Chains A and B, each alone.
Chain A
Amino acid sequence: MIEFRAVTKRFDDGTVAVNHLDLTVDAGTITVFVGPSGCGKTTSLRMVNRMIDATSGTILVDGKDVRSADPPTLRRGIGYVIQQAGLFPHRTVLDNVATVPLLFGWTRRKARSRAAELLELVGLPASLGKRYPVQLSGGQQQRVGVARALAADPPVLLMDEPFSAVDPVVREGLQDELLRLQAELDKTIVFVTHDIDEAVRIGEKVAVFRQGGVLAQYAPPAELLARPADDFVAHFVGKDRGYRALSFVDASGVEIREVATASIGDAVSQASDWRLVLDDGRQPRGWLPAGSTVDGQVTEDGLEPGGSLYTLGTPVRGALDAALSSPSGLGVVVDEEGRYAGVLTARQVLDLIEAQRGSRR
């Protein structure tokens, strides 16, 4: 658990970076600090491991005032993942990960064997251990950064915009990976980002900061989207917050139905309705438009590309998106293995949302 008690940071030039922050980060949760640049979120993070010292107030990590510890010793007990990974260019991946165990005085052999375990934990092949950071992609470097921060098994992990320098697809993979790791490791994580989507995606609680280092709202993401505390938060959360809030709405009540299907290689006759084309593994490949004719067999080339797929059991946002993005207007539903399960319409999803809204009142 991390507690900020009346913490203020005023820099030498007089700017107030953090203004009287009171906030408790619960043990074993991911808490996200989010806000525009200059809102004090990174300063707040860096005060936890004393990269920056607070001007006044107290920060407690597991009940102990961070001011009572010698900074380097304190930092070895707190994992830190920095933007751009900050890997040491002159050390191999394995030795990068072994950094903190070596600072703790482990033997090189033991530190390296621990580092190898961590590479596996973050989903990197052991063969990467001998490479230098420059030989890795941005996403791999960030994974190494996470492995390095976890090497000495610290209870607390600070993450300073760790995924902001990688492209969106890789970022989403890294976020999933972090959530998977957290389910396994149960760390107390403080995660700083300027990206509200990232914040609501990975945070169990989100602290929204505004300029001048003032905490604007501290709440679980669903609440933040549904009931922003003021105009600043509403504006920061964004215009499509109603849509994004659907990430937290359960879709288990939605009824799916069947649609006409065809397989690659089938000979099909003209039909008046859209038909969904599946491959041998029953995975959706695309649509045959209504009224289209096919000479001979169905091939992948002749298909209209499908929209996003909705996986059963996931929040309602994906169901609505599947329906809206589908050329036929029918959202394709798949099971966990990606096999066709049925279709649904946007109308059905909206009815479900309305029904849930009614039942909450």
Chain B
Amino acid sequence: MFSDLGKYLSDAGTRADIGTDLVDHIYLSLLPLVFGVVVAVPLGWVAHRFGRARGALLGVMNIVYTVPSIALFVIIPVLIGSQILSPVNVIVALTIYTTALLVRPITDALDAVPAHVIAAATAMGFRQWRRFLAVELPLSIPVLAAGMRVGSVSNISLVSVGALIGTGGLGGLFTDGFSRRYLPPIIVGITLTLVLALVVDLLLVALRRALTPWTRVQGVAVQ
């Protein structure tokens, strides 16, 4: 088996193709993560701020998240008029999933900002939008980062599904391996997917740590 793998990887063209698949996989999974945050934060704010919108919004998000990914990949070209094989379909679909995943935790995180902190910020003279950016959003970062970690793993695995409709990424290695009944591309695909998920997760943890120094200090009162 290892000799098969060695032989498979010895070809420079194959290695270049795998590299392209990996890069495709990275942007197909991470762009939706970024877009998802950008969409979910305002939606979370709306759900937090307006009690009436909350139930409907969170309900819709739950339903959206239950739509199978393959169905979404096929429906989206119909909805937005893109080519059936366009990577845009995957990006839009995964943005929708990420958004659906993140709205609830963001809403909960905003709810959890202590009332006295908000009141103090208002009394200091923050305008509402600036208060949101300077106080409420930073305090929501730990929860947001936890949601993004789940979202990144979910996206990285879902991009592979896109290979079934031929949209690129490491999933192509699986379809290739299955159709030829040939193991090496499948092993390479699984390994790279796992390594990618792990690396992105570590980066997100590092990012969260860098952005939230206050969560790591000892809560001891020293005179």
Contacts and interface: CB of A to CB of B under 8 A. Distances in A.
A135 B217 contact: yes
Contact of A135 (B117, B121, B135, B218): B218
Nearest to B223: A137
Contacts of B138: 90
A236 interface: no
A86 B217 contact: no
Given A75-B124, A136-B221, A89 B119 contact: no
B123 interface: yes
B220 A135 contact: yes
A131 interface: yes
B117 to A, nearest CB: 5
A140 interface: yes
A75 B123 contact: yes
Interface stretch (A76-84, A204-212, A257-265, A289-297): A76-84
Interface string A111-145: 00000000000000000000110111110100001
B218 to A, nearest CB: 7
Nearest to B135: A88
B214 A132 contact: yes
Interface residues of B, number: 25
Nearest to A77: B125
B116 A83 contact: yes
A86 B220 contact: no
B214 A134 contact: yes
B127 interface: yes
B222 interface: yes
B139 interface: yes
A85 to B, nearest CB: 8
B214 to A, nearest CB: 4
Interface string B145-182: 00000000000000000000000000000000000000
Contacts of A138: 221
Contact of A100 (B114, B124, B218, B221): B124
B120 A87 contact: yes
B68 interface: no
Most buried by A among B121, B122, B124, B139: B124
B13 interface: no
Nearest to A91: B214
A114 B21 CA distance: 55
B112 to A, nearest CB: 11
Nearest to A137: B221
Nearest to B212: A90
A72 B217 contact: no
A90 B125 contact: no
B126 interface: yes
Most buried by A among B114, B127, B139, B214: B214
A137 B222 CA distance: 7
A148 interface: yes
A355 interface: no
Nearest to B213: A132
B219 A86 contact: no
A80 B123 contact: yes
A268 interface: no
Most buried by B among A135, A136, A140: A135
B163 to A, nearest CB: 42
B214 A82 contact: no
B127 A72 contact: yes
Contacts of A89: 117, 139, 214
B117 A100 contact: no
A274 to B, nearest CB: 37
Contacts of B123: 49, 51, 75, 80, 82, 158
B218 A76 contact: no
A99 B220 CA distance: 24
A271 interface: no
A327 to B, nearest CB: 32
A103 interface: yes
A103 B124 contact: yes
Given A49-B123, A72-B126, A86 B117 contact: yes
A135 to B, nearest CB: 5
A252 interface: no
Interface string B90-131: 000000000000000000000000101101111111110000
B217 A88 contact: no
A86 B124 CA distance: 11
A80 B124 contact: yes
B124 A84 contact: no
B119 A132 contact: no
Contacts of A85: 116, 120
* Pairs of residues from A and B, 6 with the lowest C-beta to C-beta distance, nearest first: A86-B120, A76-B125, A137-B221, A80-B123, A75-B125, A86-B116
Interface of A: 49, 51, 72-76, 80, 82-91, 99-100, 103, 131-132, 134-138, 140, 145, 148, 158
19 contacts: A72-B125, A75-B123, A75-B124, A76-B125, A82-B119, A86-B114, A86-B116, A86-B119, A86-B120, A87-B117, A88-B121, A99-B124, A100-B124, A103-B124, A132-B213, A134-B217, A135-B219, A136-B221, A137-B221
